[in-house]
Amino acid sequence: MKTWQKLKQNPELWGKYLVRETVTDTIRKFFKDRGFREMFTPILVPVPSAETNLEVFETQLRTAGGKKRRGFLIMSPEYSLKKLLAAGSGNIFEITRSFRNEEEASGSHNPEFSILEWYRTNANYLMIMEDFEELFTKIVQVTKGDTGEGKFTYQGQEYDLTRPWMRISVAEAFEKYAGIGTEAMLSETGLKAEAKMRGYQVTENTTWEQVFYQIFFNEIETKLKAARRPVFVYDYPASQAALSRKKSEDPRFAERFEVYLAGLELGNCFSELTDATEQSRRFEADMAERKNSGKTEYPADADLIAALKSGMPEAAGIAVGVDRLVMLAADAASISETLLFPGEEIFELGE
């Protein structure tokens, strides 16, 4: 039975689906009250972002006069928003739709999804941590009818939202939860050796990145969920933060964090890279990696490089999965329970 049919037969179900409207309204008010300007950037673009592990939706733009252009649905609005930062926008946010192809339908993924991004000028990733704590607290306050501090219950489990939230670096997490020191973690041979001893499938073609995330997902993320608290995991190896500036005191790492709650990764933040030359070099490496992994090939975004060359202010920004915020606020076990037209249903992926 389709979702619209369920809603027609059981009007009481509308409550869970309407939580999305409340969450979206709360996000918009939160940023406007703090002087951020709301931006509206394109969903169809000639060049998408360069994430090495994500696949795009590609189409073709055709004019009545016969012109043809490659087109892509965005994986995030990041590049467009950074061009606006370079143009002098100041603090900005956007709530929009984004698309990622070749992902299995699951409780935390949908091929079309809602994304929130915000950027602070003259800021770093530590300030965005504070923003996120305040924003999530406000969402809980509005949707749950309490102060947003203290305890939060999701799917029968209680979580402590007392601020400041738990913060742990990637190096500390590998040491504490996986028993792997920093030098071994950063070394390809060292990390592969650790993985082999733990029974992971490692061949000569297995990359350091693949091993890194196998260990992270299996041995660290599970421990973070068990902590029953939200947590910021910060300072990723520089190779895992292609759009982030490196730490001045240890350039092996970059100023990036991800925030987790209840086993869900809710947001990904960078202290933004503003060096056009360095960004161009990283784009070249990303495009080579996309080619090697069989992903759709396309050029790097030369317009973003031009924007960086023109002068982009120091800034920090984050991409947040709105659907996952709605899941938590609605106490829903999966994203599909909060979507009026989930991809798995409309494309009959479960059949």
- Residue-wise pLDDT for 185-205, tens only, equals 999 999 999 999 999 999 988
Q: Does a structural domain hold residue 90?
A: yes
Over the stretch 199-227, which tens digit does the pLDDT of each residue have? 999 998 899 999 999 999 999 999 998 88
pLDDT of residue 104: 82
The helix/strand/coil state of 110 is coil
pLDDT of residue 116: 98
Q: Does a structural domain hold residue 151?
A: yes
Burial class (CB in 10 A: 0-12, 13-18, 19+), 289: middle
Q: Does a structural domain hold residue 128?
A: yes
Work out the average pLDDT over 324-335: 97
Q: Does a structural domain hold residue 171?
A: no
Work out the average pLDDT over 26-42: 98
pLDDT at 351 exceeding the cut of 70: no
pLDDT of residue 150: 79
Strand partners, 119: 92, 317
Nearest-angstrom CA–CA distance, 349 and 351: 6
pLDDT at 270 exceeding the cut of 90: yes
pLDDT at 235 exceeding the cut of 80: yes
Burial class (CB in 10 A: 0-12, 13-18, 19+), 62: exposed
pLDDT at 112 exceeding the cut of 80: yes
Work out the average pLDDT over 46-63: 96
- Looking up residue 77, the CATH number of its domain turns out to be 3.30.930.10
The helix/strand/coil state of 256 is strand
- Which domain range does residue 78 map to? 3-165+229-346
pLDDT at 141 exceeding the cut of 80: yes
Specify whether the CB–CB gap between 293 and 318 falls below 8 A: no
Work out the average pLDDT over 97-126: 95
Q: Does a structural domain hold residue 351?
A: no
pLDDT of residue 302: 97
Nearest-angstrom CA–CA distance, 179 and 175: 4
When divided into structural domains, the chain yields a total of 1
Work out the average pLDDT over 236-256: 95
- Residue 162's identity, in one-letter code, is T
The residue assigned the tokens 């494309």 is 347
Q: Does a structural domain hold residue 23?
A: yes
Nearest-angstrom CA–CA distance, 322 and 208: 31
pLDDT of residue 204: 86
pTM over the 0.85 mark: yes
Work out the average pLDDT over 228-241: 96
Average confidence score pLDDT of the chain: 95
Over the stretch 278-302, which tens digit does the pLDDT of each residue have? 999 999 999 998 998 899 999 999 9
Per-residue pLDDT band for 149 (boundaries 50, 70, 90) equals: low
Closest CA to 43 of 99, 84, 111, 87: 99
Nearest-angstrom CA–CA distance, 39 and 80: 10
Nearest-angstrom CA–CA distance, 213 and 105: 20
- For the chain, where are the alpha helices, taking DSSP H only? 3-9, 14-33, 78-86, 125-144, 170-178, 182-186, 188-197, 208-215, 221-226, 276-292, 302-311, 322-330, 343-346
Burial 250-260 (b: 16+ CB within 10 A, else e): eeebbbbbbbb
pLDDT at 105 exceeding the cut of 80: no
Q: Does a structural domain hold residue 173?
A: no
Closest CA to 273 of 262, 264, 285, 281: 281
Which residues have a Cβ under 8 Å from the Cβ of 210 and sit 6 or more positions away?
A: none
At 84, give phi and psi (nearest 5°).
-70, -35
Burial 30-56 (b: 16+ CB within 10 A, else e): bbeeeebeebebeeebebbbbbbebbb
pLDDT at 147 exceeding the cut of 70: no
Which residues have a Cβ under 8 Å from the Cβ of 68 and sit 6 or more positions away?
A: 60, 61, 62
pLDDT at 253 exceeding the cut of 60: yes
